Every structure is written in C-alpha cells, then in structure tokens.
Amino acid sequence: MTSELSQHGSTETATFAGGCFWCMVHPFDSYDGVLHVVSGYTGGQTENPTYEEVCSHTTGHREAVQVVFNPQIISYRQLLDIFWQQIDPTDAGGQFFDRGSSYQTAIYYHSEEQRREAEESRDELERSGRFDKPIVTEILPAKPFYPAEGYHQDFYRTNPSHYTRYRQASGRDQFIAAHWGSPRA
C-alpha cells in the first residue's frame, strides 16, 4: 500500500475505475480526509498512454481515479461506499453512455487489506438486493497508474458547465438518484 508521511500525517492511496474519470473526481474530492484525486489510466500494458490511445480500447487501460487520503479522517471502507454509489456495478460494457473496455468499472487494491475490504463491500452490496442483476465490477491488483493530460484534471472545476451537461446527458445522475437518492457530484 502506498503510505507516506506528510504534513497531513500518514496517507494511503486508493484507485477506482468508474467509467468517465471526470465524473469520479468530484464525489471523492468533496470529503474531508481526501487530500487529492488524480484522473488517469491504469490496468493496461501501454506505458504512459494518451487519452486517444486509451479511448481506442487497445491499451488495456481503464479511465480511473487515484485517491490519496488520510485514513485517520476517512477510511478505505468509506471510499468504497462512495465508489459504489457513483457507478452501475452491474454493467460489464462500460458506464452509462460511455461504452467499451476503457470505461469498465474496477477496484484496484494496493494491499491485501484493501482487497479483503473491497471483496467484503462487493459481497454486501450483492446481498443487499439493491440491484436486480449481478455485480460485475472487478477487484484487481493495482498496476502502474498514469495521470491523464492536464486538461482532464479537476474537470468539474475548470469546465463546470461542460461537466454538468455531460453528467446530466450521460444518464449517470438519473441512475444514482434511482438507486441511492440524490447524487453527490
């Protein structure tokens, strides 16, 4: 597990693929204890891929976010709960209107403890009956993470009107509202 001492105390890293990374930053970014969230690519074989390469679905990468957090303030389990409430975990073909392998969901664990917690949270969600189809989100070992191009970082802040239109048009907010209540995005 990535763990380091900083001015914020001990930190850890969590990595989540939830479809379009633009839509995954703000939900995590808005919690105390989350120090920063980076949009990027992980899971594939191409080193330092570009957005265009990842969108071609030939690199094996998924759009993802890497979350650096202080576990004294927010737990990994809380981050898992946030993650599940941002995605359709039953969709193996992508997320909402973003289709293809680069938009498939996954939890990338950085330690055996994260793997165990991710599996427990998935199993609890499956047993909850919240969804009428099986959970297909994969739980995989973390691989190298490549930050996306600068214009993708903090997109909800740098392009708020485009971000809002995209979220609404994608169907993500409607899905979240139907399954969890009001989206926090």
d(CA 78, CA 86): 13
Tokens representing 123?
């199993």
Please give the Cα distance from 79 to 90 (Å, whole number).
19
41 closest CA partner among 60, 21, 64: 64
- 3-state SS, residue 182: coil
Both tokens of 117, joined, read: 């917690």
Identify the pLDDT of residue 161: 95
Enumerate helices (H) and strands (E) in the chain, giving the number of each.
Answer: 7, 9
**62, 106 in Cβ contact below 8 A?**
yes
Q: Which two tokens stand for residue 132?
A: 């009428």
Tell me whether residue 55 is one of the annotated catalytic residues.
no
**pLDDT in 10s for each residue of the chain, 185 residues:** 444 444 446 999 999 999 999 999 999 998 999 999 999 999 999 999 999 999 999 999 999 999 999 999 999 999 999 999 999 999 999 999 999 999 999 999 999 999 999 999 999 999 999 999 999 999 999 999 999 999 999 999 999 999 999 999 999 999 999 999 875 55
pTM for the full model? 0.92
- Spot the catalytic one: 20, 23, 38, 82: 20
What is the per-residue pLDDT for 181?
A: 83
Fold of 3-180: Peptide Methionine Sulfoxide Reductase; Chain A (3.30.1060)
Contact present, 67 and 25 (Cβ < 8 Å): no
| pLDDT value of position 9 | 66
